[in-house]
Structure 1
Amino acid sequence: MKKLAFILIVLSTSLCFSQQTVTGVVSDADGSPLPGVNIIEKGTSNGSTTDFDGKYSIEVNPEAVLVFSYVGFNSKEVPVNSQTTINISLSSGAELEEIILVGSRALPRSNTTSSLPVDVLPAKELTSTGQITFDKALQYKIPSFNTVQTPVNDATSLLDPYEIRNMGPSRTLILINGKRKNLSALLYTQTSPGRGETGSDISAIPTDAIKRVEILRDGASAQYGSDAIAGVMNIILKDSPEEGSVTIRSGITSEGDGETIGISLNNGSSIGEDKGFFNYTVDFSKVSLANRPGTVDAQGEFDDFVFTDPDSYSSYLDAGGQALDGGAILTGLTAEQAQQEFIDNYVGTPNHTTRLAEINAANTQGRADVDQFLALKPDAGNINGSPETSAAKFLVNGGYDISKNTQIYLNAAYVYKKVNSFANYRTPYWRTLTDFPYLADFFPDGPNGQYVGYVPTFEGDLNDYNATIGFKTKRNGWNYDLSYTTGGNTQTYKVNNSHNRNTVYSPSTWIDSNDNGTVDPGELTQGSELYRENSPISFDPGGTGFRHSVGNIDIAKLITDKISVGFGAEFRTETFEIIEGDLASYDGGGADSFAGNSPENSGTFNRYNFGGYLDVAYDITEDFLVNGTVRLEDYSDFGDAFVWKLSSRYKFLEDKLTVRASISTGFRAPTLHQIYTQKAQYSFVPGAGIQVGGLINNVSPQAKLLDIPQLDAEESTNITVGIGAKINNNINFTIDYYNIQVEDRIVLSTEIGKTATDAVGNSIGNTNLDQLLNNNNLNDLSFFVNALDTRTSGIDVVANYKNIGLAGGSLGFSLSGNYTIENERDGDVKNPAIVANAGQSVVNLTQEALFFTSRPKTKWILGTSYNIGKFGFNLNNTYFGKTEFRQQGLGPNLKTEFIPKIVTDLGIDFNATDKFTVSVNVNNLLNVLPEWEFKSLNAAGDALLNDPAELKTRSNLITFNQRYSQMTYNGFHFSQLGTMFNVSLNYKL
């Protein structure tokens, strides 16, 4: 027995000593590291893979043979021969241009041979656009990506909504180095694309910190969880310890405004003797105001704000029901009885004739007042376009090798943005001295110190941060990745140059502020008005905040040279905060233009969820790959979700052609913003001016009173079928068809009004809806609801042809496009009973247009590049296809159609030295501006098109009397600022 034990010990010891560690780096022919390369000890199942830096480590026999293999490259066998370091280069006629990491949770694949459609944009492609922010650079590089700058800039001025494949910002998941980025605190509530949703603030990410961007254009809930119905955007940060640069940039519009200035520094350093690295970016920028108001129509202003119709019953009565000609008091009667009483007793009398003369005289004077003001301010003082924005951005990315097989990594970012924008100008005939005599003292801004109205400002402060720390290690061929991520976004607001115009009286108890026993000036006694002439003109409306904490563990292994497996888990907590405003900002109705958050609508709300996934990739043959993923998520507030995904690809013609397809289910959890937001909402209602509505949340007593159901998760089914080809090193293309079906899509309802009103607009309905509106002095209310099933399908095309020799230089072409086949509602709107019983709908024609037709039906980008000597030239033409809109109040006979346009961008680089580059960009070279026109929907619409006066009335209706003549009130999908000139100077450190 002892001899046997001794033999076993000797054998095991000899086996241990016969193993050795081999390390190295695998790169392509250009020396770029290749992540995800498979390394197998030939004849065994012992294997490893390279990390993001192309590094690997494996325990093998000194006499072993290592087999290096990677998709798209020729495999290579290398004898160990007792070597401890083996660095190799893989090459073939089908080398990959980019490595993508978002397609699978097992191993990365290539672009043209992956089983999923992915766009890969290196940093150079982003900076070549000349756009100031990351999101706007994507707008002119990715056809299925769209973002819009809303023409009305209050809270939405802090960041613009974006989306992929017309699916809204909530349905694209944003990752930084593969880890989930926090959502923004902002919930879009304006009537513009993205209404009712929120997304991450990708404009906060400094472009100079980005190495490349990978955009997975396919449902990925099975891999990553909620928010990935439309796809995933993975932002890979720069990781060079040696390459750095300083960039100074400046720009201006052709109108001489919108000046930009910025400076950024990107640099890095090694840690120890190449044990690790850190790379950091500092970016400061300022963009000045660019104002694009329209010339306001005087007749429209007069009709909306001044004109009194002599034939209207309401013109004869004041708010208390008293006849304005001095006649009898008509109180105690219904509206119909009062109207008939007035007609029977006063129409045709001398007092009636006198009143008609007074009304006509008032109308004449009112029109003169409008004309006088518009002569002073033809744009009615409105300021809309691009707000003034200042930003400071800081980001660091780093890693450190603890051992040959273990690395810690981290990245962190902080962004501060300050935005100054404006509400609609309150004209002197809109906010009159008759109604508010104290305004003459508040805003004496006219040429001679007279009151000429006022424009409330909106000032926003945004703080956004995210950070990740984790480590990766390898044990027995298993790759482990453990990480912790935190992030948050806070937005707080200021309103200046406004007032609280509401009548609110002081409480019954007098407060003796200086404790002297007498009522002194400034001390309010019982019954004193708190606001109006006592109102402040600056307000703190509060704001919103969001933060999350995410823990991830991801494990992967190459089981054999054909099978790789990945599995993992995620635990996430989320917190949403509605920050209370000061008393004057919300009391009685709050600050004019932007009411603050009241205590009952404020608070902190949180939830947590746990998710786990399993991902298996199987190369059935060298050409045939199948990839499957399943995921289970459990949320603390609405329950669980199970989703799955199956994808495959087949290569033929010596890897030159790849056919791929995927089918998956997905889900999107309602955000905390959608569940808990409740506030008074100022909005422009065509034909009625600015109105105050209420947004109630789904867990409030008001929602229970109205039997509004609580929110549930959206569910989706995604199908993608495509082909990818790499003809040679210079020519490649991909074509992909997609079909996305979403059930129980969450929408912010349209404004639900009173069920019935009398002749002067008072509610006479007796439903809970009417009572709620009357008790809260609201014109209408809205709420979130799972209201729609939708279908979206289309085709994405990406093609490249590069390295064409021409006159001693290199010419290249790229063409990419997106065409929407269908984007529509599937079935009836799911209206809550109280809305259906009132003959209304939570989704009206305007809402449907926002969801389905307010983005371009097709968008194409044709890019041309030419490099010769020290010069580089880029010319991009972006075709924005037709969009259609059904503006609120426009009626059933007309729609608006935005005319397709091509925006041309020119970029010129001059490499003065090896280190110094001058870049000049002219964006929108031909000064193309949005244009729209009315389109008829029926015979009545045809008649309207032939009536210039009626068309002018409807044009005034949707542009707020031409204040938003280019964009209409609801916005468009490219800038109305015209040509922009940009210059940047880059010096490599």
Structure 2
Amino acid sequence: MAFSTKCTECTSIAIRWQQHAALFRTHVKFRMFIFSILAILSCQLSVAQSSRLVSGIVKDTAGVPLPGVAVAFKSKQAGTYTDSDGKFSMQVRKTTTHLSFSFIGFATIETAIPESGSMTIVMEEAAGQLDEVVIAVGSRAAQRTVTDSPLPIDNISVKELLGTGQLTFDKALQYRVPSFNTVQTPVNDATSLLDPYEIRNMGPSRTLVLINGKRKNASALIYTQTSPGRGESGADISAIPIDAIKRVEVLRDGASAQYGSDAIAGVMNVVLKDNTDGGSFTFRTGITSKGDGKMIGLSLNNGINISGKGYINYTIDLSKVGLANRPGTVDAEGEASDFGADINQVKTFLAVKPDAGNINGSPATAASKFLVNGGFDINEHAELYFNAAYIYKKVNSFANYRTPYWRPTDYGLLTPAGEQYAGYLPTFDGDLNDYNSTVGFRTNKNGWNTDVSFTTGGNKQLYTVSNSVNRNTAGLTDSQGNVLYREKSPIIFRAGGYSFSHYVGNVDISRTVAEKVHIAFGSEFRSENFEIIEGDRASYEGGGADSFAGNSAENSFKSDRYNFGGYVDVGVDLTENFLVNAAGRYEDYSDFGDAFVYKFSSRYKLLDDKITLRGSISTGFRAPSLHQINVQKTQYGFVPGQGIQVSGLVNNVSPQAKLVGVPRLDAEKSTNLTIGIGAKPGENFNFTIDYYNIKVKNRIVLGNNIGPSGNPDARLDQVLASNNIVGLSFFANALDTRTAGIDFVASYKNIAVGNGTLRLNLAGNYTLENKREGRVKNPAIIAEAGQTVLNATQEALMFTSRPKYKAILGADYTLGKFNFTLTNTAFGPTKFRNAGMNNNLQIEFLTKVVTDLGISYQFDDAVSVTFNANNIFNVLPEWKFVALNAEGNAILNDPAAIKVQSNLVTFNQRYSRMTYDGYHFSQLGSMFNLALNVKI
């Protein structure tokens, strides 16, 4: 069905506004382009001065050379890194007098450059210094280290990410950050392009993603299937090439007061590599234990020092992953019941195709990723910096196989001549383009730090359905009365897609105004654009392409908005041990209003910094996304017992939404409390424990389908019938929620074992509560009819379908040229209430421990090889039914009744491993990867 969203007058006004907005954006782009060219030219002119060569070697106190030490101009990022022999060499201006040397686990050194230009640096290990890397996400008033920050921050190096053996950034985080979870859904469609992820069970849209401290664009996709992340969209972090990352800073605390919308659960800042001493080439390949999912990848990362005046670091990453298929054996009786088919016909078909021809598991994916990061010193006090990335992904996945008893004919379009019709398998191809770029100017003069930047980014997804037909279930005819499509249907459909882009301008200023007082303030202007792209007419008319209907003309349009925000952030070191920090932010959006939020945090050190007490309290907000405000479409979904059905999603400004009293969306409001303790009992041992409590008011959800109640006297039934609406779903500020839990992180390093050194890490997250508070806020007409926006399935999806706890225990052992890693990740139980399942039952996924092994060998200074065996014990998801009461126990004691329920939640055993709604670790079993790295 199609929904009209605009009257003629409104459409005319909207078009004029969009034309003005387009002209404004073009003007801004042109101005920024000219600014960038002039800035680069001025940079080149200003740095045209004499320089000299500085070189040397960096060692530890035992005289062992230290590779990877950052060598930089004092207070500047530009510089180089020591090579595998601890040596460095770079050009510096003659006016440059000092260099700084920093390395994880060692105390930073700032020293004068001798006249000879030759330097020998000895670095000392520092207690707890492993985590003492300057952090940008904790406070905007002053750069703090992890141990000095009053907030819980994870600092993850690229070595840790690569050590997981995972192919993408999001999956690597899954096995390194305990409060981070990502889920893969069994029927992929558009979701196959990027999997939903979240921190602290808060959904993908409540974690703000930054690239070098600047906001990354959101994905164009909004999840509409029954999977975690339903009704939300987040930045596509899987698109970021791991080899381009220097480190990742994960702030596990609300930060709307510092960064604005989307930072309710926390902030993830991806810091890009800036090394200039060459790079490396990596070849990767892998396969599953079943022999499918074959992977091959090539990656090049390289850095260039531009005559001591600047740096450019670039990454090229190309990869291809083959299909991995894990279908179940389909139950004939369930099929016959669902589709009203003759049992003998079903059995005959399943004898040839026991899996009913289904293909589900992990889709085939090809990806090309390009990224560059750079900066140029204009003078001793100013720097021009930039970064840019472009990613293309092609994903080939499949819909459910259309069996001959489900679709009795393909109208002769898909069956080769002379062959007997045996059904057909629609394919779904997704093409994703994602880009982001930033150009900025930093100065440090007279104690003032100023950062002015412009960021742009976008994500576009286009969908193609092949090997399918338009069955014209609406019976459409042409002007002569001839039935459209069916026998005349195309078999390839361009189904349209979605596009999102933003333009962000930032001005950030900070200064230490007194010895112990640090202040920062700034502003941000952001313009966002969202487009629903129309599909081919045949892809949506009369029911559209079988399996995935395209976006109709009536539902395809552009929308945009802008917002302006300003913040102030003040930090005061009352004593050497006692820090207090306060921040406030005001935001004004063009489409729904304004918001003011604040944050207070503090930290107190005891016993010579061996114990740190910390805490924060803050308010936050999340603006409804343009996707949530505007998207509407026709959506296919599996209804247990009825097969695939079609339902309508209407936006909140549509006439249909007004008919049932759906209000316009407003911002979510949150209150975030965090209390923690950190301890460093010894030089090599440290741990942190943090309690968090997040309350969200007016949380936005995509509700379940609302149809007639069955009571002809109900207002809802009368409104739906009189307006020819079969059923609809919509977004609403439907509920208040509370999420509370505990994070634990511990590290014990430099343990002597034999002739090698061992490091142990333990990190965990435990959810104390994740629940709805109060009643669901249903529109009156829906509540009167005894219906609700949030049913048991949706509530379970939001609150219990994530692991109750997750723990990661890792061991890293270095012996000569060998390095061994062994990691055990425990995924706690999850609970779900599948649609159509008996209300007296629920599903529980059992606790599982996944073990990963990594072995690397350094042949020489330039060549190393790493082998990863992930999930070496072939652990697979496993679930069971759990009774909620006596009636549920009766069902569990009846094998026939249990079989019925099992068929309902697995689509007659097609998805027996994970049910229809996804899983939290791979159903592919053991996976083996090999990587060869060559320094260049």
Match of 1:453 among 416, 423, 431: 423
For the residue of structure 2 that corresponds to 1:442, the secondary structure is: coil
Match of 2:393 among 397, 400, 417: 417
Structure of larger gyration radius: 1
2-structure distance, mates of 1:76, 1:253 = 47
* Equivalent pair of 1:95/1:729 in contact (CA under 8 Å): no
How far 1:775 sits from its partner (Å)?
5.2
Letter in 2 for 1:373: F
Distance 1:770 1:810, change over 3 A: farther
Letter in 2 for 1:404: E
Structure 2 partner of 1:906: 853
2-structure distance, mates of 1:88, 1:653 = 29
For the residue of structure 2 that corresponds to 1:754, the secondary structure is: coil
Structure 1 partner of 2:511: 557
* Equivalent pair of 1:624/1:651 in contact (CA under 8 Å): yes
Q: What do residues 2-32 of structure 1 show as CA deviations (whole Å, max 9, x unaligned)?
A: xxxxxxxxxxxxxxxxxxxxxx99x997784
For the residue of structure 1 that corresponds to 2:797, the secondary structure is: helix
For the pair 1:829 / 2:829, whether they are aligned, the reply is no
1:226-305 to 2 correspondences below 5 Å: 226-271=261-306, 273-305=307-339
Structure 2 partner of 1:734: 688
* Equivalent pair of 2:71/2:99 in contact (CA under 8 Å): no
Structure 2 partner of 1:705: 659
For the residue of structure 1 that corresponds to 2:151, the secondary structure is: coil
For the residue of structure 1 that corresponds to 2:917, the secondary structure is: coil
* Equivalent pair of 2:833/2:842 in contact (CA under 8 Å): yes
Distance 1:478 1:724, change over 3 A: same
TM-score by length of 2: 0.88
Structure 1 partner of 2:538: 584
Structure 2 partner of 1:224: 259
1-structure distance, mates of 2:362, 2:707 = 33
Match of 2:733 among 771, 776, 786: 786
Structure 2 partner of 1:405: 381
Distance 1:682 1:54, change over 3 A: same
How far 1:973 sits from its partner (Å)?
0.7
TM-score by length of 1: 0.83
2-structure distance, mates of 1:114, 1:28 = 29
How far 1:443 sits from its partner (Å)?
2.5
Letter in 2 for 1:854: S
1-structure distance, mates of 2:257, 2:935 = 42
1-structure distance, mates of 2:784, 2:353 = 46
For the residue of structure 2 that corresponds to 1:402, the secondary structure is: strand
1-structure distance, mates of 2:475, 2:849 = 57
Structure 1 partner of 2:699: 745
* Equivalent pair of 1:398/1:409 in contact (CA under 8 Å): yes
Of the structure 1 ranges 91-100 and 970-979, higher mean CA displacement relative to structure 2 is found in 91-100
For the pair 1:967 / 2:914, whether they are aligned, the reply is yes
1-structure distance, mates of 2:180, 2:231 = 19
Match of 1:444 among 415, 418, 423: 415
Structure 1 partner of 2:129: 95
Q: What do residues 72-120 of structure 1 show as CA deviations (whole Å, max 9, x unaligned)?
A: 9999999999999999989754535322211000122121331000001
2-structure distance, mates of 1:752, 1:847 = 13
* Equivalent pair of 1:305/1:429 in contact (CA under 8 Å): yes
Letter in 1 for 2:454: Y
Q: When the two structures are aligned, how many residues end up with a matched partner? A: 858
Distance 1:741 1:528, change over 3 A: same
For the pair 1:652 / 2:677, whether they are aligned, the reply is no
For the residue of structure 2 that corresponds to 1:269, the secondary structure is: strand
Match of 2:679 among 705, 719, 725: 725
Letter in 2 for 1:410: F
Match of 2:745 among 791, 795, 798: 798
Match of 2:211 among 176, 186, 190: 176
Q: What do residues 747-791 of structure 1 show as CA deviations (whole Å, max 9, x unaligned)?
A: 00011111217xxxxxx566455554685564x210000011001
2-structure distance, mates of 1:756, 1:159 = 39
Q: What do residues 671-717 of structure 1 show as CA deviations (whole Å, max 9, x unaligned)?
A: 00000001111111112211110000001111122211000000000
For the residue of structure 2 that corresponds to 1:100, the secondary structure is: coil
1:258-407 to 2 correspondences below 5 Å: 258-271=293-306, 273-306=307-340, 366-407=342-383
For the residue of structure 1 that corresponds to 2:768, the secondary structure is: strand
Q: What do residues 390-413 of structure 1 show as CA deviations (whole Å, max 9, x unaligned)?
A: 000000000000111100000000
* Equivalent pair of 1:440/1:450 in contact (CA under 8 Å): no
2-structure distance, mates of 1:79, 1:398 = 26
For the residue of structure 1 that corresponds to 2:916, the secondary structure is: coil
2-structure distance, mates of 1:200, 1:229 = 15
How far 1:630 sits from its partner (Å)?
0.5
2-structure distance, mates of 1:187, 1:93 = 46
Distance 1:906 1:76, change over 3 A: closer
Gaps of 5+ in 2: 1-53, 61-65, 81-94
For the residue of structure 2 that corresponds to 1:602, the secondary structure is: coil
* Equivalent pair of 2:695/2:738 in contact (CA under 8 Å): yes
How far 1:835 sits from its partner (Å)?
1.2
Structure 1 partner of 2:822: 875
Distance 1:90 1:532, change over 3 A: same
* Equivalent pair of 2:69/2:103 in contact (CA under 8 Å): no
Distance 1:770 1:164, change over 3 A: farther
Distance 1:370 1:67, change over 3 A: closer
Structure 1 partner of 2:813: 866
Match of 1:469 among 439, 461, 469: 439
Match of 2:457 among 481, 484, 487: 487
How far 1:442 sits from its partner (Å)?
1.8
1:98-113 to 2 correspondences below 5 Å: 98-113=133-148
* Equivalent pair of 1:712/1:786 in contact (CA under 8 Å): yes
How far 1:475 sits from its partner (Å)?
1.9
Structure 2 partner of 1:7: none
1-structure distance, mates of 2:749, 2:930 = 26
Match of 1:976 among 920, 923, 928: 923
Q: What do residues 32-89 of structure 1 show as CA deviations (whole Å, max 9, x unaligned)?
A: 4599x9xxxxxxxxxxx9244599xxxxxx9xx9999999999999999999999998
How far 1:474 sits from its partner (Å)?
1.5
How far 1:727 sits from its partner (Å)?
3.0
Structure 2 partner of 1:940: 887
Gaps of 5+ in 1: 1-23, 38-48, 56-61, 308-365, 434-438, 508-523, 758-763
Structure 2 partner of 1:634: 588
Distance 1:932 1:506, change over 3 A: closer
2-structure distance, mates of 1:217, 1:945 = 41
Letter in 1 for 2:908: N
Letter in 2 for 1:369: Q
Distance 1:978 1:550, change over 3 A: same
2-structure distance, mates of 1:924, 1:249 = 18
Q: What do residues 858-906 of structure 1 show as CA deviations (whole Å, max 9, x unaligned)?
A: 0000001111011110000000001000111113210000010000000
* Equivalent pair of 1:503/1:529 in contact (CA under 8 Å): no
* Equivalent pair of 1:812/1:865 in contact (CA under 8 Å): yes
Letter in 2 for 1:899: L
2-structure distance, mates of 1:430, 1:177 = 52
Letter in 2 for 1:469: V
1-structure distance, mates of 2:101, 2:755 = 38
Structure 2 partner of 1:546: 500
* Equivalent pair of 2:71/2:102 in contact (CA under 8 Å): no
Letter in 2 for 1:248: F
